[in-house]
Structure 1
Amino acid sequence: MANSTNKPVKIGLVGLGKIAVDQHIPAIRANPNLELVAGCSPHARPEGVVGYSDMQAMLAAHPEIEALAICTPPQVRHRIAKEALAAGRHVFLEKPPAATLGEAEALRDFAAERGVTLLASWHSRFAPAVGATRDWIAQRALKSIHVVWKENVRQWHPGQAWIFAPGGMGVFDPGINALSILTRIVGDTVVVKKADLHIPVNCDAPIEVGMDMVTEGGVPVRADFDFLQENLQTWSIFVEAEDGGKLALSMGGTILEIDGKPVMQEPEREYPGLYAHFHELIASGASDADFSPLRIVADAFMLGKRIAAPAYVE
């Protein structure tokens, strides 16, 4: 169901937590093709946003809403997204798109049946240096890739117990951002071979992961994720080519160095790019539902070795 008018697409937010306040609300308001109508959350009420307790109440009060951005924890996202799609609304799924690969695929199929747009958003793919990295890789045979994604869970997810609950993914919640970039830049299927999952004894999801992968073309890929990084946060991907060339994509994709020399440093603008993409999809009646990063996480949980880690204390 494409939007054929020149009027802004009217959007509602489901979930009004930190990511909605920090990223979604500013990105929507900065886009002249979009209009933020209202939001819903059991408790949160950001300033300047008309709020409701749940999605049904919001849609009843604002039937003009055409699209919904779902920013809830992943454990409840499938049910809410299916209700939104059934109501004929286009859906923007915050990452990860669902708690399981099966739920994500079911949503993709249901959106196609209903004829509405579904965006499985991978915001890190819209980091400014990702495209240039993809171009550099496309011109070379690769020797190895090393992903280092380390951040402080207490800084980025304060008080959010869901992240270590079943379906919360633990350190894979930020790590999947790295995997979304990886699957974008290599242009090849990435297969998990080994994963060490360090899970706190009082949690159900890992706080640290070491993972060995390989592309279908035979390029070895190492990933190191840590949720207890202090001081400088690390969001980097290092690539070495067979000809000796080296590339470093750092700070989540905003800084690019080639052979030790900086070639790009741009401000973060991922969510504005994502919402521009969402608008284009709605206008053309298309969807973008690539689940390859989530599949890697699922494979890691399937064959990963569980290693007991010290209890996590907020």
Structure 2
Amino acid sequence: MSPTSIAIVGFGKIARDQHVPALHDNTAFSLDAVASRNASLEGVAHFRDIQTLLDERPDIQAVSLCAPPQVRYRQACAAIAAGKHVMLEKPPGATLSEVEDLRAQAERAGVTLFATWHSRYAAAVAQARDWLRERHVTAVDVQWKEDVRRWHPGQEWIWEAGGLGVFDPGINALSIITAILPEAFFLTQGELEVPANRQGPIAATLAFSDRRGAAIRAEFDWRQTGPQTWDIHVETDAGPLALTQGGSCLRIGDEIVLEGDDVEYPGLYARFAELIARGESDVDVAPLRHVADAFLLGKRVEVEAFHE
């Protein structure tokens, strides 16, 4: 079969660092266009915006939307109306309602919609999920702490309403635990630390409980310099499990079971190709729902102003 002709819309750091290499190594796709106001890719057709792309390149079959979530809904609407398959970077939208409407639009149009959670495709996540499936979880501790200046230099949109603040990385942890924990869980309380000059939180502490009463605690912080921390520790009736390094390393008890490579975005595009071939969609909003709950239930505490 011929590869699916795909375009990237929104060509920032994540598109360059992750999407382009993953597409380059995937024979199911041909990267044939980029739509971006401020950036282009050598050797690939460039368009200023998605509508111009759709008007001038009707042969494009799929789009990967990497623009900020605040503008992604309108872009996805245009692509679906044009009959294109759509892949959404995380978070899939600025609100739950937007994503649910996109799901309905894609179903009516008969196209694939894929709301991606790249951290779920980290090397050790599937094996952790399988091991926990037969265990009783008693406690979970999530530590997701990184340096915003390192990962989001000059990106003001992440601090604006709809940009999620520290939940931009924190939602990655939530995407993992919603995938690996055998019981549903619910927020019971939270605290959001919001800089005096920003709309989005720079840190958050969340407490959840699952149906069986297991305590789940998550700490997200964007102020950590030096080594970065992306760790999940789970206590069970069969001993502890640790999923560290963003989900690429798995330890069960005292044994390192798996240390894997960075396979997240290749995994996403393999899944997207599979969904297109099957004529299916994959739109799981559970991680975004937990973030929405945090903004609903979390206590806001003002902290010192943040400057780049």
Given that residues 150 and 228 in structure 1 are in contact (C-alpha distance below 8 angstroms), is that contact kept between their aligned partners in structure 2? yes
Identity of aligned residues (%): 50
Say if 2:235 is the partner of 1:258.
no
- After superposing on structure 2, the runs of 4+ consecutive aligned residues of structure 1 that deviate more than 4 Å are none
The reply to whether residue 193 of structure 1 matches residue 188 of structure 2 is yes
Q: Is the 8 A contact 2:146 2:223 kept in 1?
A: yes
Shift of 1:70: 0.2
SS of 2:149's equivalent in the other structure is helix
Measured against aligned partners, the alpha-carbon deviations of 1:236-295 in whole angstroms (never above 9, x if no partner) come to: 10001134x111100111111111321110111100010000000000000000000000
The answer (yes or no) to whether the contact 1:190–1:296 under 8 Å persists in 2 is: no
Of 279, 290, 294, which aligns to 1:296? 290
Deviations 1:125-174 (A, max 9, x none): 00010011111111211110111100110000000000010000000000
Native 8 Å contact 2:54 2:82 kept in 1? no
Q: Which residue of 2 is the match for residue 273 of structure 1?
A: 267
Distance 1:51 1:177 in 2: 30
| Paired amino acid for 1:292 | A
Report the equivalent of 2:129.
Answer: 134
Counterpart among 23, 26, 38 of residue 31 in structure 1: 26
Distance in 1 separating the partners of 2:132 and 2:246:
17
Deviations 1:61-116 (A, max 9, x none): 32110000000001001111111111110000000000111111111111111111
CA distance in 1, matches of 2:183, 2:167: 21
Which residues of 2 match residues 14-25 of structure 1 at below 5 A? 14-25=9-20
Match of 1:85 in 2: 80
> 1:175-233: per-residue Cα shift (whole Å, max 9, x none)?
00000000000133221111100000100010000000112232211000000111000
Q: Distance in 1 between matches of 2:136 and 2:297?
A: 29
Q: Which residue of 2 aligns with 1:59?
A: 54
Q: What's the secondary structure of 1:272's corresponding residue?
A: helix
Q: Does 1:213 align with 2:214?
A: no
Counterpart CA distance in 2 for 1:187 and 1:286 is 25
CA distance, structure 2, for counterparts of residue 103 and residue 216 of structure 1: 28
Q: Using the alignment, how far apart are the partners of 1:217 and 1:85 within structure 2? A: 41
- Does residue 116 (structure 1) correspond to residue 111 (structure 2)? The answer is yes
Could you tell me whether the CA contact under 8 Å between 1:117 and 1:281 is conserved in 2?
Answer: yes
Look up the equivalent residue of 2:276 and give its one-letter code. Answer: I
Aligned partner of 1:241 in structure 2 is 236
Task: Structure 2 unaligned segments of length 5 or more: list them.
Answer: none
Are positions 1:165 and 2:165 aligned together? Answer: no
**2:280 aligned with 1:286:** yes
- The C-alpha deviation readout for 1:1-21, integer Å capped at 9, x for no partner, is xxxxx1101101100000000
Structure 1-normalised TM-score? 0.96
Partner-residue secondary structure (3-state), 1:212: strand
In structure 2, the residue matched to 1:3 is none
- Return 5+ residue gaps in structure 1 as ranges: 1-5
In the aligned structure 2, how far is the partner of 1:10 from the partner of 1:49?
12
Distance 1:87 1:303 in 2: 39
| Inter-partner Cα distance in structure 2 for 1:164 and 1:135 | 36
User: SS at the partner of 2:231?
Assistant: strand
